[in-house]
Structure 1
């Protein structure tokens, strides 16, 4: 473990997560891409969300490829980052929408190749509190990388046009070189080896005080929840640039600044999660996240032509999103035995990515339900529905908790 303790080496481990959310780096360029390629609003939004479609498949395929070809975690990560760099740069040189869309699929394949390995490699090389700290910083690096790539892409957009915005993916090659140089070589562990290690551990359910021996049916509810919050979050990010242009005019190019500030808020949300859970517990933290997410949606959805209100909504949304996301992964050990944790984590990761991919379609449906156009101020309409949904979920959790407590109380008295 000693050779992994230097600051430079720790930064190299964390650097793998720097590019993993860079699919969203081009969001500020969406209005210009839409006009240049003469495509619809959902089509241009799919350039951001299509990588998530490929991620869903390659999150599953990646460990299989490692087993088949005996590839170590370090080398599969290097291959994934390299693919991100190559596929990400393609749109900088072409004008065909379908070629760009295909390159975005390949970009998602690169993310999927190494997403879970960037998490597991830290668990291999670090232990105890240091492992927890590194995982927290890994999550923060995703947001820092998102903010940095978005800012750089936005500056390239302003000074050199929408093609240049894609040049930001050249950073992947620098990340790959640093990672290859500083991260120690690791030996490949098969899925069965990992299952054997985890099967010796037991997780005690906080509800029953008994070991967790099977997958809880609540995992389906968690999956639906992550689908919803990811559709909400990505939809707001995707539609903010178009809404900002509708309010401020076609020459407005400041959306990247607001999205970068939102990501700083998201980083603060992730950093605050441990403190919030310590003081308010799991349920209290869920309520805080859901209420703040509802407020962000209502500000965005009902802001109308008031750009300050719309901006307040986008600046707020990242904080509760990054409070809820680590909470979800922290409760997964109570949803299944340790030997099945890798499987249900992949299941939830697929849910997050499908939510991102499906976001443009879901938002278009909400527009039709509300009778709003897919342009101008109508872009904000779906988020009124999302806001109501967050409050409904908070209410269901509140009443569900009390019904469960009532059930236990009556059961202990012999009434059930």
Structure 2
């Protein structure tokens, strides 16, 4: 059995995704940092947002770094930066140094963000790849929840101690180094055994792989941005909608945390959905997202329906997200997988950034009051989701590459 098929190798892959979304795990320590470091609230918030800026920059650079170092060494570099830079604030009290360490932390995440996906796309195929991509997405959600919880426990000892959560990067790094082969050496190989093909774990062969990057990668990038805009519109609207129904003191955090669990389940079950429904997994996810939109928009004061709609949105998003990444080996050469994965990830990140502007524009078109723009935009976003589902059903019948099983 090839080394990539071992369960411990798969765990090593999932480990790097487990730590990938931990940049915000220490946000609960920001009030104490603000007080003890004698900094402004704005300065403390900059500590929270700086990693995301660095992530965006280094996601763009990661494929070029990988071309020089190879996929495995690039991930090792990124995880090392996360572990080292992550714990720097435990040892220092200088705001500029802490800020710089947060920037390096984000750079580390950005360096291996796309490779956490593309290495799976290169090394696995068929049902194994689908399952790995889904579980990988779930690992991000689990990691964010677990590390945020651990940081909260450490906060009882002081704000510095919260940064010790990043020490988890080192055992993950060791496991990855020991167990995962370098996919750079596999790209372009032609020979695969029939036994591997039957197992669904082969890499794409040279004869099968595309010779250039398909224009559909750009379409998928815009699609990814739209999905996140819809998700964020519901997530950000819920606290205000809940406050209208339950009063200004209502704590929406438990429901928003449950969204994370629903998203995790979507990632875990993606492989099964893909196995059962194939290319129509996309349409199922779109219909469920649209249903979430309509439940939220037309809850009409029913708090149970509102919460159910909010909880639902994360599940189909994590069905569609790995579906998108699962298409990339059909849309670009293996040597370009890190690049096209980076492009899709940028689409997701840009969607988060532009969501307020898109919703504000929709609100202006609908003549909505500023504080109701998101509420009144949600059903229209749901209609767009249904329209995309209908269009892609017809393209699926024509067996377009985007929707190939």
* Shared fold (TM-score, shorter chain, > 0.5): yes
Correspondence 1:225 to 2:223:
yes
Quick one: structure 1 residues 8 and 82, their matched pair in 2 at CA, closer, same or farther if it must change by over 3 Å? same
Cα distance in 2, alignment partners of residues 165 and 235 from structure 1 = 30
Correspondence 1:22 to 2:22:
yes
The within-5 A match list for 1:342-381 is 342-359=338-355, 362=358, 370-373=368-371, 381=373
Correspondence 1:391 to 2:383:
yes
Quick one: structure 1 residues 340 and 88, their matched pair in 2 at CA, closer, same or farther if it must change by over 3 Å? closer
Aligned length: 379
Cα distance in 1, alignment partners of residues 392 and 222 from structure 2 = 17
Find the counterpart in structure 2 of residue 276 from structure 1: 273
Shift, 1:268, TM fit: 1.8
Cα distance in 1, alignment partners of residues 30 and 362 from structure 2 = 21
Cα distance in 1, alignment partners of residues 98 and 8 from structure 2 = 36
Find the counterpart in structure 1 of residue 56 from structure 2: 56
Gaps of 5+ in 2: 191-203, 401-405
Q: Is 2:118–2:338's contact at 8 Å kept on the other side of the alignment?
A: no
Shift, 1:321, TM fit: 0.6
Aligned counterpart for 1:172 among listed residues 169, 174, 184: 169
Greater CA drift, 132-141 or 238-247: 238-247
Find the counterpart in structure 1 of residue 113 from structure 2: 115
Quick one: structure 1 residues 125 and 401, their matched pair in 2 at CA, closer, same or farther if it must change by over 3 Å? closer
Find the counterpart in structure 1 of residue 258 from structure 2: 261
Find the counterpart in structure 2 of residue 194 from structure 1: 187
Cα distance in 2, alignment partners of residues 32 and 362 from structure 1 = 34
Q: Is 1:301–1:383's contact at 8 Å kept on the other side of the alignment?
A: yes
Find the counterpart in structure 2 of residue 411 from structure 1: none
Cα distance in 1, alignment partners of residues 313 and 87 from structure 2 = 29
Which digits, 9 at most, give the CA deviation of each residue in 1:374-403, with x for residues without a partner?
xxxx6xx52542442232242255257559
Greater CA drift, 23-32 or 221-230: 23-32
Alignment RMSD: 4.7
Shift, 1:179, TM fit: 3.5
Q: Is 1:22–1:149's contact at 8 Å kept on the other side of the alignment?
A: yes
Shift, 1:48, TM fit: 6.0
Aligned counterpart for 2:78 among listed residues 56, 77, 80: 80
Find the counterpart in structure 1 of residue 194 from structure 2: none
Find the counterpart in structure 1 of residue 150 from structure 2: 152
Shift, 1:19, TM fit: 0.7
Q: Is 2:85–2:102's contact at 8 Å kept on the other side of the alignment?
A: yes
Q: Is 2:127–2:275's contact at 8 Å kept on the other side of the alignment?
A: no
Find the counterpart in structure 2 of residue 414 from structure 1: none
Gaps of 5+ in 1: 204-211, 409-416
Cα distance in 1, alignment partners of residues 78 and 282 from structure 2 = 34
Quick one: structure 1 residues 91 and 393, their matched pair in 2 at CA, closer, same or farther if it must change by over 3 Å? farther
Shift, 1:351, TM fit: 1.3
Cα distance in 2, alignment partners of residues 295 and 72 from structure 1 = 43
